[in-house]
Amino acid sequence: MTSPVPEDKLRLGGMALRNGLLVHGPTHWAAAVRTEAGELKVASGRKPNLGGHAADGVPGVRGVLKLAEAMAVIPLVKRALPEARLPMQDIRTLGSMGAAALAGQAIRAAGARKPGTRTAGREAAVALVSLAPALLALRSGDLAAYHGVEHKAIAGYEEDSDAADAEKEHDRCGSHLVAPMLAAAAVGNVAARRAGLRGPAVEAAVGLGSAAVAVELFVWGERHPDSPLTRLMRRPGFEIQRAVGTREPTGEQLEVGEAALAEILRVEAGQVEGGQ
């Protein structure tokens, strides 16, 4: 079990790119990539503020806002570092996303033709189908290796150890959101349909609600790392990381992660010295 983040360390998060790593700090982001020519490129910038810090005391809202802030960083990264290749930036993955959307609609349509069959099990099947593109993205190219770089670089920083020696699975990985999010979405969609509610707005509301529930459970798990419930919630995430989501990176890939980590520490240190 990974220990909590030491008080003298920044709380860092990240996202694996197809050719590098994006790291989030409290106020800034930093990214490093390996270009097709083999060159190492680094960029950084300030994170957008959508009210995530102001909503820290508001359960449900805080998680959604922080996820939105993380997503808002992506176009900034692409503008500053055009060579960065995003996880879904792949024709095969985009095609699987379209196929998954059609399959989900087909499952729901089959249920609609049979009154009384709109069960949580059917909605869970739709949710699992929607997860397929993300799993396909992880299995293709170097994305899984850079996911391992993300975990090892951050763990090495937090533990004052060599990133190469750190575990490639991590307690704070977003994969731990998957199980509670799928469960909440299945229950929410069944409740909405039984109430006669449907349409894109309803699906969006259920999606946001399930994300909020998943984030709150994630935060609770961090506060109670030794709880049997926490271990149960994290088990699917660890299995995703072990079997699909991460791969041991090469020395060159770890070098990219070290560059991203050094850059985020540099810009965050400058923020502190300048008076936040």
Q: Are 188 and 214 part of one and the same domain?
A: yes
Q: Are 97 and 76 part of one and the same domain?
A: no
Distances (CA, A) of 151 to 164, 217, 264: 10, 21, 15
The number of folded domains in the chain is 2
Per the structure block, which two tokens stand in for 156?
Answer: 């090495």
Query: Is 132 inside a domain boundary?
Result: yes
- Of 42, 136, 43, the closest CA to residue 88 belongs to 136
Q: Are 185 and 213 part of one and the same domain?
A: yes
pTM of the model: 0.76
Per the structure block, which two tokens stand in for 136?
Answer: 């396909």
CA distance 199 to 138: 30
Q: Are 74 and 135 part of one and the same domain?
A: no
β partners of residue 28: 46
Contact by Cβ (8 Å): 63, 216 = yes
From first to last of its 276 residues, what are the pLDDT tens digits of the chain? 345 677 778 989 999 999 999 999 999 999 999 999 999 999 999 998 876 666 666 777 777 787 788 889 999 999 999 999 988 765 444 443 344 343 444 444 455 545 544 565 666 565 555 555 556 656 666 888 999 999 999 999 999 999 999 999 888 888 888 788 878 887 887 888 788 887 888 888 888 888 888 888 888 888 888 899 898 888 888 888 888 888 899 999 999 999 999 999 999 987 655 544
Contact partners, residue 215, CB within 8 Å, separation at least 6: 62, 63, 64, 66, 67, 177
Q: How many residues does the structure list for the chain?
A: 276
Q: Are 189 and 120 part of one and the same domain?
A: yes
Q: Helix, strand, coil % (nearest 5) of the chain?
A: 60, 10, 30
Q: Are 95 and 200 part of one and the same domain?
A: yes
Q: Are 217 and 112 part of one and the same domain?
A: yes
Compute and round to an integer the Cα radius of gyration of the chain: 19
Q: Are 60 and 122 part of one and the same domain?
A: no
CA distance 67 to 13: 11
Query: Is 157 inside a domain boundary?
Result: no
Query: Is 217 inside a domain boundary?
Result: yes
pLDDT at 112: 52
Assign residue 275 a region: left if phi > 0, alpha if psi is -120 to 50, beta otherwise? left
Query: Is 218 inside a domain boundary?
Result: yes
State which residues form the domain around 5.
1-86+250-276
CA distance 50 to 225: 29
Strand pairing of 13-17 and 28-34?
A: unpaired
Place of tokens 């379209």: 98
Sheet holding 13-17, edge to edge: 13-17, 20-24, 28-34, 40-46
Output the CA torsion sign for 101, 96, 236, 224.
negative
Q: Are 28 and 69 part of one and the same domain?
A: yes
pLDDT at 276: 45
DSSP state of 117: -
Query: Is 232 inside a domain boundary?
Result: yes
Q: Are 15 and 104 part of one and the same domain?
A: no
Q: Are 99 and 231 part of one and the same domain?
A: yes
Query: Is 153 inside a domain boundary?
Result: no
Give the rounded distance of the alpha carbon of 40 from its chain centre: 24
CA distance 276 to 272: 6
Query: Is 264 inside a domain boundary?
Result: yes
Query: Is 159 inside a domain boundary?
Result: no
Task: Report the SS3 class of residue 183.
Answer: helix
Q: Are 116 and 215 part of one and the same domain?
A: yes
CA distance 120 to 192: 11
